[in-house]
Structure 1
Amino acid sequence: MGTTDEDRVYYVISDLHIGGDEQLENVEFLDELLAFLERLEQTDEPAELVINGDAFGLWEFTTISGIEKFDALEETYPELFEQFRATGENIPITMVPGNHDHELAAYDEYVERFAEYNVDLVQEQSITRPVGSRTIHFEHGHQQDPNNRIEDWGNPYATPLGYFYNTLVTSRAGQLSDRGRYNWLKDVQAVTPTERMPVWLLSKYFYREMNPLLRYALVPFLLLFNISILLVILTSLDLAGIWSMPVERTTGFLSQFGTAGTAVWFLLAINVTITGLVMLVGIPLYFIRRDVRKTVSRFGIFETELTVDAETPYAEAAREVFEDDPETAIFCYGHTHRPRLQELEGGVAVNTGTWLKRLHRRDGITGILPPVFYPSYQLCTVRIAAEPEAGGIAIDYEAVEKPSPKAEELTLTERLFTVGREPELELPDGTVIEDEVQVSEPQPAE
C-alpha cells in the first residue's frame, strides 16, 4: 500500500533571515543548513519541508528592489539554491512568506524563479496540511503582531512599523558593521526586544569599541562604584563633623603600610571625588530625564512599542483556528524567534524558533558595569508526523548543533564576568496529540 498525504512527515523551519546589505549577507549557519537539507535529500521518509516565513531578509536590501533581490540571493548563495534543487527532487519544499520577505507574495516572478529550484512558493498568508486524520495550520505569525501586520497582503509597497526599523536600522547596521574594531554591529537582528538596543550598543561600545587602556582604567572604578557611594557618604559625615570614626580608623589602618598605604588612600580620595561629582551631576539629570519622559508620554510618542508579545496573540489566534475548524490540531508559526510549545484547548501552538544568533543579557556582577550580551545558537527543526505506535500525532523538536561563538565574540573581560552564568538553552519537550476529533457529547434536556 502506498503512502498518502495523511502519512506525510513534516519538517518545519523558519526565521533564517538570509541576505541583506553588505555584512548582513554573512550567513553564520550556512553549513548547518546545507547539512540539514542534504539529510532530507537522502531521506526515505514521505517527508515535506515547510519553510514557514522569513527565509530571506528582503527588507534588509535597500539598494535594489523587486525581483533584483532574487538575483542577488542567487548570486550570493549558489550552494544553497543548488541544494534546494537537489533536496526538492526527493521531497516537496514549500515556502510561506513572512514579514521580512513579504515581497515574495507581491511578485509572481518569485514563484517562477523558486520553482526552478524545486521550491513551491505559496503566496498566501497561511497554508494547511493533513496529518493523520487532523490538519496543521501554518503561518509565519507576523499577522498577529500589530507592528508587522501587512494590512494589504501582496502589496509590494506595504510598510508596517517594523519595515522602517529594518530598513533604517538593521540594513544600516549591515553597511557599517565592518568599520568597528570587531564586526559586531551586524548582530542587530539578534537583539530582542528592540527596546534593548540602546543598552546593547552601550555594552558593545564599552567592551569592544572603547580604547582598551581607557576601559581597563575604568573597570576598577565601575566595579567599586557601590563602595564609592558609601565612601562619599562617610566622607561627607566626617567633613560635617557628624561622624568621624570610620574615616579616622581607615586613616590609622592605612598609615601602618607607609608609602603603599598613602597610595591606596590617594586612590580612594580620587575615587570618592569622582563619585561625588557623578552623583552631583547625576541626581538632577535623573529628575530632568524622568520629567522629560513623563512629558513625552503624555503626547503619546512612546505609545507604540516594537516589543512582540511572544505568547498571548498567538494563543488567541490558535484558539480561533481550532474553534473554526475542529479538525485542525496544530497551529505552527514563527516570527518571535522563541521556540515554544503551548498545549491549548483544541490543539497545540508550536513556534519553530530561529536560526539567527540569539543574545542573552547578563547584567554586571557588581557596580555599574554594562551588561554582557552572551551569544549562542538554538538551531532547530520541528518534526510533525502521525505515529500510531506513539498514540497519535507526534510533535518533536530536533536540535541542530552549533557551538556558541563566545570565544570569538566576547572579550576576555566579558568572558570573566559571565563565568558560571552562561545561558542554558533547552528546546521544548515534544508532545503527542490524539489523532481524532473530539466531539462534545450533547447535554440531555432537563
Structure 2
Amino acid sequence: MDGDTDDRVYYVISDLHIGGDEQLVEMEFRTELLDFLERLERTDENAELIINGDAFGLWEFTKVDGIEKFDVLEETYPELFDQFRATGANVQITLLPGNHDHELAAYDGYIERFAEYNVDLVPERSLSRSVGEQVIHFEHGHQRDQNNRIEDWGNPHSTPLGYYYNTLVTSRAGQLSDRGRYNWLKDVQAVTPTERMPIWLFSKYFYREMNPVLRYSLIPFLLLFNISALLAILAGLDLVGVWPIPVDRTTEFLGQFGRAGTAAWFLLTINVAVAGLLLLVWIPLHLIRRDIKKTVDRFGIFETDLTVDPEAPYEEAAREVFDEQPEKTIFCYGHTHRPTLREVDGGIMVNTGTWLKRLHRRDGIIGILPPVFYPSYQLIAARIAPEADGVSVEFEQFTKPSPATEELTRTERFFTVGREPELDLPDRYVVEDENAKTRTRQTHN
C-alpha cells in the first residue's frame, strides 16, 4: 500500500458476471456501467475503482479455454474495454478475481492483456488499501462458501462444486434461452439462493411456457384450492355423519342464486373432489418424506448444501480479520449479491451487491398458485472516503427501471399489484478514527 493513497476515495463494485455462452453475452446494464465509468473518467477526485470479483463469467464460457476467453470478451464488448482504457487513464482501476473469473489468477497472460486497457489485475485472494488512518480489507467472499471455495488458488483445474453447476446448468441455460416463448432462461444467474431453482423453473413454465388455455383453466382451481380442501374435509365429516351443518348451509346459500348458484356448486364439487383426492395422497407422502429426511440426516449423507448462509460466514471472517490485523476496520466483499452495511465487533462489513437482475419471490396470497419472481435492478457502487473524523461508507445507486412490464405476463403482474419490492439501501456510516475498532456510528443522508 502506497502512502499517497491515504487520502484516496475508493469506489467498489462487484458481481457483474459479464459474458458467457450465447444468450449470457447480453449485458443488460451496459448503459449504466459505461455512464459510471465515464463519470470516473472526468472526476477530479483522487480515486480508485476496485472491481471486487466476478466481473466476468468465465465459468460460463464452455466453448473456449484459457486466455482465449479474453479474446472473446474483447471482441464482444469493445465499448466496455475502450472505456476501461479511458477511465484508467484518469483513475486507477484494480480488478480482483472471484470464483466465476478465477481463471484471471491462473494465467499470467491476463495481467498483460488487461494492462493494455489500464486495468491492474491483482491475481490474489484479497488486497488491502489505506484510507485516512484506517485500512480496508477487500476479498470477493467465495472463500467463505464451501461450494465455491478454491483451495488451490491459481490452478486452472481447481473445480469446486459451483464450477460444475455453472458450466452444466448456467451455461446450458444461456444456450437454450432463446428457444422459450420469452428469452427468460438466461436469468438463471439471478436466482439466489440456488435451492430456489426448481420452483423458479416451475413458475416460469406455468406463467410463460404453459399453453394459455390450460393455464387459465387451472387458475380458478388453484385459487380455490384452500377453500376446496376445507370443504373436502367438511364433506368427509358430513359423509360419516359427524357434522352435516356446513354442507347443508352451503347448499342452501348457493341455492338462492338459481342457475348461477348451481354452476358455482358444480365448480366447487369438482374442486372439492380433486382437493380431497390430493389430500388423501399428500398426507401419507408427506409422512414418508419426513421419515426419509430424518433417516438421511441421521446418516449425514448430504453434508454439502448449495444454499449458503448469507451472513454468518462473513461476520466470522470479518471478526477474524479485525482481530488479526487491528489496523483494518472495513471488511468489503461481494459474492452473495445482497447489499449489506452492518456493524460487527471491531469495524463494519460491506457487501457491494450485484449488477445482475435481482428476482424477488412473491408467494400467492390465496390458493396454491406458483410464486411470482418479480425482477428489478439495484445497481450500486460503494464509496469509501476519508473524512475529518474517520472514514465514510455509503452506497451510490444508478437508476435502472424494473423490467417487470416486459418480462412478466399479465397474470404475474396482476398477482403482484401492490406487492412490488421496495429496494432500500443501508444508510451512510462513518467509522471514527478514535477507538475505531469499537466505536462506529450511523449518520443519515
2:22 equivalent to 1:22: yes
Match of 1:41 in 2: 41
SS of structure 2 residue aligned to 1:236: helix
Which sits farther off after the overlay, 247-256 or 369-378? 247-256
How far off its partner does 1:58 sit? 0.5
SS of structure 2 residue aligned to 1:17: coil
- Mapped partners of 2:132, 2:255: distance in 1: 83
Match of 2:423 in 1: 425
Match of 2:391, as an amino acid?
A: I
- Mapped partners of 2:38, 2:436: distance in 1: 39
Match of 1:177 in 2: 177
Which sits farther off after the overlay, 404-413 or 258-267? 258-267
Match of 1:289 in 2: 289
SS of structure 2 residue aligned to 1:381: strand
Match of 1:164, as an amino acid?
A: Y
SS of structure 2 residue aligned to 1:7: coil
Residue deviations 1:305-329 (CA, integer Å, cap 9, x gap): 1112222221222222222222222
Distance of aligned partners of 1:346 and 1:286 in 2 relative to their CA distance in 1, 3 Å threshold: closer
Match of 1:194 in 2: 194
How far off its partner does 1:400 sit? 1.0
Asked if 1 retains the 8 angstrom alpha-carbon contact of 2:346 and 2:437, the reply is no
SS of structure 2 residue aligned to 1:136: strand
How far off its partner does 1:236 sit? 2.2
- Aligned ranges 1:8-407 → 2 under 5 Å: 8-388=8-388, 391-407=389-405
- Mapped partners of 2:264, 2:15: distance in 1: 54
Q: TM-score, normalised by structure 1?
A: 0.94
Match of 2:254, as an amino acid?
A: L
Match of 1:38, as an amino acid?
A: E
How far off its partner does 1:237 sit? 2.8
| Unaligned 5+ runs, structure 2 | 439-445
How far off its partner does 1:194 sit? 0.7
Asked if 2 retains the 8 angstrom alpha-carbon contact of 1:386 and 1:435, the reply is no
Residue deviations 1:204-246 (CA, integer Å, cap 9, x gap): 1111111111111111111111111122123223333333333
How far off its partner does 1:367 sit? 1.1
Match of 1:443 in 2: none
- Mapped partners of 2:273, 2:233: distance in 1: 11
- Mapped partners of 1:377, 1:101: distance in 2: 22
Distance of aligned partners of 1:301 and 1:29 in 2 relative to their CA distance in 1, 3 Å threshold: farther
Q: Aligned residues, how many?
A: 436
Distance of aligned partners of 1:398 and 1:236 in 2 relative to their CA distance in 1, 3 Å threshold: same
Match of 1:364, as an amino acid?
A: G
Asked if 2 retains the 8 angstrom alpha-carbon contact of 1:326 and 1:437, the reply is no
Residue deviations 1:6-34 (CA, integer Å, cap 9, x gap): 11111000000001111111111111000
Match of 2:109, as an amino acid?
A: E
How far off its partner does 1:37 sit? 0.3
How far off its partner does 1:259 sit? 2.9
Match of 2:281, as an amino acid?
A: V
How far off its partner does 1:294 sit? 3.4
Match of 2:441 in 1: none
Match of 2:118, as an amino acid?
A: N
Match of 1:338, as an amino acid?
A: R
- Mapped partners of 1:329, 1:172: distance in 2: 41
SS of structure 1 residue aligned to 2:127: strand
SS of structure 2 residue aligned to 1:10: strand
- Mapped partners of 2:379, 2:252: distance in 1: 60
Residue deviations 1:375-403 (CA, integer Å, cap 9, x gap): 11111001111121xx2211111111111
Identity over aligned residues, as a percent? Answer: 75
- Mapped partners of 2:246, 2:435: distance in 1: 76
Match of 1:444 in 2: none
User: Once superposed, which parts of structure 1, at least 4 consecutive aligned residues long, lie more than 4 Å away?
Assistant: 436-440
- Mapped partners of 1:127, 1:219: distance in 2: 53
Asked if 2 retains the 8 angstrom alpha-carbon contact of 1:133 and 1:436, the reply is no
Which sits farther off after the overlay, 309-318 or 254-263? 254-263
SS of structure 2 residue aligned to 1:290: helix
How far off its partner does 1:107 sit? 0.1
- Mapped partners of 1:25, 1:352: distance in 2: 22
How far off its partner does 1:187 sit? 1.0
Asked if 2 retains the 8 angstrom alpha-carbon contact of 1:173 and 1:186, the reply is yes
Match of 1:314, as an amino acid?
A: Y
Q: TM-score, normalised by structure 2?
A: 0.94
How far off its partner does 1:75 sit? 0.9
- Mapped partners of 1:122, 1:421: distance in 2: 43
Match of 1:7 in 2: 7
- Mapped partners of 1:414, 1:439: distance in 2: 48
Asked if 2 retains the 8 angstrom alpha-carbon contact of 1:134 and 1:436, the reply is no
- Mapped partners of 2:394, 2:338: distance in 1: 15
Match of 1:81, as an amino acid?
A: F
Distance of aligned partners of 1:343 and 1:230 in 2 relative to their CA distance in 1, 3 Å threshold: closer
Residue deviations 1:71-122 (CA, integer Å, cap 9, x gap): 1111111110111011011111000000100000000000010011110000
SS of structure 2 residue aligned to 1:181: coil
SS of structure 1 residue aligned to 2:6: helix
Distance of aligned partners of 1:241 and 1:144 in 2 relative to their CA distance in 1, 3 Å threshold: closer
Distance of aligned partners of 1:151 and 1:217 in 2 relative to their CA distance in 1, 3 Å threshold: same
Distance of aligned partners of 1:239 and 1:62 in 2 relative to their CA distance in 1, 3 Å threshold: same
Match of 2:410 in 1: 412
- Mapped partners of 1:222, 1:54: distance in 2: 41
- Mapped partners of 1:181, 1:288: distance in 2: 38
